[in-house]
Structure 1
Amino acid sequence: MPHLFQLFLNLSSLLISISSNKEPTSYREATSYPKWKVAIDLELAALESNHTWELVVLPPGKKAIGCRWVYKIKKISDGTVDKFKARLVAKSYTQQQGVNYHDTFSPTAKIVTVRHGAEEDGG
């Protein structure tokens, strides 16, 4: 019987651990946990230091594009938590090409380019 009780305790602590390290689904939920508040503050500080946006007066008849928070728990290869990551993202489904933006850019590198660059560096 003690073995069964120990199994129950182990399972209970596992469930508590999993539930305390779940990704929030709302800003209100995220801000109720100190670790997510820190992640949000770090993201806002990074956005400000990188001069990501500029506050301007919205032209008449135009609507601002909304944003939302995305939360992710980053883990290392053994499954332990590395960090809590919060990202502020635009609600891109409300944007229209030619109205809200003109070009899109996604940095990519071909493996040949990476290899060639490494060879020039002596790698």
Structure 2
Amino acid sequence: MDLAARDGARGLVLESTFSSLPETAASHLPLLPVRRLMRTRFDSLAKIPNYCGPLLQVHGDADRIVPPALARKLFDAANEPKWFVSVPGAGHNDPPSRAYIEALDRFFDALPARTPG
């Protein structure tokens, strides 16, 4: 996310990702002040508005590591054009589903042509 936001990309694919690491940790440890204690942020939510290319975001609706709501929060903050694919029954580390591979193929086929230079 960071590299695409800083330097651009023809397209960006985010798979089972989160809005920020502290927010993900807080979803698992709601009684601890992890948002304040964590130094490593991986704050994609703050960076995604700086990315201005096509985005495909894929997330399993049964992900128990990164709650789907945090993936959707990140997606909602992204610029257009963007596509979100929710994979029914998929967890965080499940192999790519047929729906994911088909969405990936469509996404790559729709990317703008590379310009010389």
TM-score, length-scaled by structure 2: 0.22
Instruction: Using CA pairs under 8 Å that are at least 6 residues apart, name the structure with larger relative contact order, 1 or 2.
Output: 2
Structure number with larger C-alpha Rg: 1
TM-score, length-scaled by structure 1: 0.22
